[in-house]
Each structure stands twice: as structure tokens, then as C-alpha cells.
Amino acid sequence: RMPQLDLSWLGLSLEASSPWPLVLLIGASWLLARVLTQTYTFYGTYQHLCGFPQPPKRNWFLGHLGMITPTEQGLKEVTKLVATYPQGFRTWMGPILPIITLCHPDIIRSVLNASVAVALKEVIFYTFLKPWLGDGLLLSAGDKWSRHRRMLTPAFHFNILKPYMKIFNDSTNIMHAKWQRLASGGSARLDMFENISLMTLDSLQKCVFSFDSNCQEKPSEYISAILELSALVSKRYQQLLLHIDSLYQLTPNGMRFHKACRLVHDFTDAIIQDRRRTLPSKDIDDVLKAKAKSKTLDFIDVLLLTKDEDGKELSDEDIRAEADTFMFEGHDTTASGLSWILYNLARHPEYQERCRQEVQELLRGRESPEIEWDDLAQLPFLTMCIKESLRLHPPVTVISRCCTQDISLPDGRAIPKGVVCIINIFATHHNPTVWPDPEVYDPFRFDPENIKDRSPLAFIPFSAGPRNCIGQTFAMNEMKVALALTLLRFRVLPDHKEPRRKPELILRAEGGLWLRVEPLSTGAQ
């Protein structure tokens, strides 16, 4: 008979009728090994992190949760932190999850300029958008992102963007006609976010789908669904329990989100199918030339016609994801940027008047006031005012990355593999070691003489590096057209109540951003 292993000291015997004690022993051993491994890994990571200072107030269980909230007070806290830690700092989400925040151009360069494979986009802040936007450029990663980025780049070539100028002018004119009616008594108090969001969505629907819903004048089911989806995502982000998908789907808001998603997807799918049927079977170059001549080439056309290096087209699902992504990213960010630009010029009437004179001089002698493609480069001071507002009030306040390997920083420190890294655009733009008197609105910071010695990463409203915003020229063109025509026709005045900033997916104002507009006399225009 074989000798038996004596496990009596554990109260176990191989002849025991139940195998569970042995299973529990193996399970406990595995768990202990995992805990020891994780502890060792965490200790190694912690050693790396010690080079990054951290704010002193830290709860043993919550970490720094609650210190930086998506409120006016939270942004003031960020401003204090960047003044104290101008190179960056670490905070903790809970007891063991570290977050590295970078806010200096010399430091963020290492992360933003790293290859897409090394510095992955950390999508924790955008997960809720996935059912709506799918694997578009905003949320995709790896080879899929690289392939789509290459295929979409032609959609933002200046030959494609040029014909959009008429659309930008027309959509702005519709918004202004509404303002003129509302201000018939001398002036009107308006929520800029509400008005400009409708205007940017109107433009986008025409640029992306060649579809005119007249959404600025009457309700549009599709436009209402996009506005509702954006609002629901922001609301869900603030409710921790509803971060769990299975719970959220059961709530009234979850059901509204699902219904709005379906409506938006059905609209995009119908246009894609209709366009596929009408696309001629001739050579792509001939199609592009014909469309360019008639100025009808839109975003969907480009997506349907584009092919990768192997001659493969985008699938209908890919096209829908990219079109939906462009509608989302293009309306909210531009609306935020333009609203805060008007706010800053309302608070600085001397700069507003100088911009107005620049536009009047440019358009003098023309029959109709329309901003054309070649005019965009002839508005230097207006462009400086736009950029300074994007510095002070960046539409996107933070972006995040998660590194697949240690990233060395120029000062000798390293960001450990696997740690979530926040590139805080707002903090970088408010860093007093980069921007003296950072809270002051001063367009002359962007005078060509003043930018020569400044790091290009000191000003990153559209991010930077491989994953920068593909639509930044589109956005800047739209903002220039809308701002130039607005200042030509209206005087913009501050509201009696100072807005409180509210950083959500984009930088908003609590309860809307309210300003007063006064129509200028025909002579003043």
C-alpha cells in the first residue's frame, strides 16, 4: 500500500470524503499568489510615482476623489494645483488607483508625441458614448484607428473644406435672422450655447449628409436626439451607480438613450443606403471631379469613396460610426468655443470693436457680407482673439492616455506602464510658468512676435501628436465665419450674472451662457 501524505495538521486527509477542503486550499494559495504579485507590482509602480508630488489632503479610502469636481470650484482647485505643481502631480482614485496629471509642455511632449501603440487613448471618460458612436475615430484604437485615420484625412483637405464656406455663412445668417427678430425691441438676452449648438448642428448636417432639416427654425427629430444623447451622457457621468450598464439600461434615462441612439442610427443608415444606390459605378476620380465642380461633395461621399492601401472600402457600420462621431464632436466643441469667445469679447469691448473694424475693412465695398475662403487669412486680430479664448476656455479640458510601457520624461522621472495619465489642457493653458497672468484675457499673446519662442505644446485646444483633432481646420474656419458675421451685425454685451464654468464632456456654463446682443445699424455694418 502506498504511503499517504499526512495532512492532518491542516485537518485534511486524502481519504476525506469531500474534495472541497483541498479545492479551498488551492484557491486560497492562488489568491495569495495573486495578492503578492499585485502588491509587488503596486510597490514597483509606487516607487516610480514617488517622483510626482501629490496634494496633501487625501482620504485613506477615497483618495483625492471629490477634490477636483466638474464645477467652477473644481476648476479653481485645478488652477491652485498647477500654480503649486507646475510640472504635474499625482492624485488617487480610491486607495490604490493612481492618476498622473501633466500640465507643462516640456513634460506632456513625451506622452502626446509617443506612438499610438505606446500611449493608448484611455477611454474610461468616453465609455458611455460607445453605443452611440461605435468604433469611430474618437473611441477606436490600434490598427483600426490607424487605418481609419489614414482613410479620413482626405475628407479634411482644403479642396473639400472650401465649398463648406457657403454652408457656414448660410447657417450663421439663419441664426442672425432669428436674433434680429428677438432683438426687435433693441436687444435680446440669449443663451449662446443653445443658439450656437443649433447653428453648428445645422451646418454639420449639411456638410456631412447634404441634408437641410431647417433645425434652427423648427424642431428636428434627429437634431433633438443628438442634443438629448449629449445631455444624457453628461448626466450619467455624474451618477456613479449608473456607470453600471445593466443598471442604466433599466432607468428611464437609459431607455431614452437607447431610443435616441436608434433614431440617430436609423437616420445615418438610411442616408448611407440611399447614397450607395445613387453612386455611379464609374471611376472614383471622375466622381470626385464631378462632385467638386458642382460643390456637392459631403462627408458621406468621401467615406463611401475612400479606399485603403489594399483597395478595401469602409463598411457601412464604419461609415455610420465616423459620421455619428463627426456630428457629435463637431457640434459641441465648436459651440463651446464660439460661446466662450463671445463671452470674452463681451467683457472686453475694446477688443470686440477692433475685431469689428477688421471685418468691416475686409468687407468694405462688397455687395453682400459673406466670408470667403481667401478672407480667412485676412483676419489676424480676430484669429488672435479666438485663440486666446480657446486658451482661457478650452472646449475640451482634459484628455487621457494609458501607457503600454514606461515613458521616460525629460527631467529623469518615468510614467509607469499601466498608469492612467491625464493631459490637463485647462491646467496647461493656466500654468503661470508658461503663461504669465494666466487668468487675464490678452489676445496679444498670439501676436506672431510673441509666439516665436513658445513651445507649440503650450497651446493645445485640439490636442497634439498622432491623435490630434482631425477636424481642427474645419472648426477654426466655422468659428471665424460665425464670429466675423456676428460682430459685423451685433454688439455683444455681458449678462448681469457672471457664468459659472462647468467642465463636462466639453466646457459649459451652469444654466447656459447668457449674453445680450444689440443689432447694429446698417451704417455701422
Q: Is the dihedral of CA 362, 492, 161, 169 positive or negative?
A: negative
Q: Nearest 10 degrees: CA dihedral of 11, 15, 19, 20?
A: -20
SS3 318: helix
Q: Count other Cβ atoms within 10 Å, centred on residue 141.
A: 14
Instruction: Indicate the pairing of strand 420-424 with strand 97-102.
Output: parallel
For residue 310, which amino acid is it?
A: D
**Distance between CA atoms of 222 and 260, rounded to whole angstroms?**
8
Q: In Å, what is the CA distance from 461 to each residue of 175, 239, 318, 443? A: 26, 27, 27, 15
SS3 514: strand
**Which residue is listed with cell 450655447?**
193
**Which residue is listed with cell 464631378?**
290
**Which residue is listed with cell 463671452?**
343
Instruction: Indicate the pairing of strand 514-519 with strand 490-494.
Output: antiparallel
- Spell out the SS3 assignment of 418-480: CCEEEEEHHHHHCCCCCCCCCCCCCHHHHCHHHHCCCCHHHCCCCCCCCCCCCCHHHHHHHHH
Report yes or no: 517 and 495 within 8 Å, Cβ to Cβ.
Answer: no
- How much is the CA Rg of the chain, to the nearest whole Å? 27
Is 103 annotated in some ligand binding site?
A: no
Enumerate the β-bridge partners of residue 191: 514
Using alpha carbons, select from 460, 464, 455 the residue that is nearest to residue 427.
460
SS3 88: strand
Side by side, the strands of the sheet bearing 88-93 are: 88-93, 97-102, 420-424, 398-403, 119-121
- Which phi and psi angles does 423 have, rounded to 5°? -90, 105
**Which residue is listed with cell 457640434?**
331
Element (H, E) at 292: helix 284-294
**Where would I find the H helices in 85-120?**
105-112
Residue list, annotated binding site:
469
Residue list, annotated binding site for heme:
469
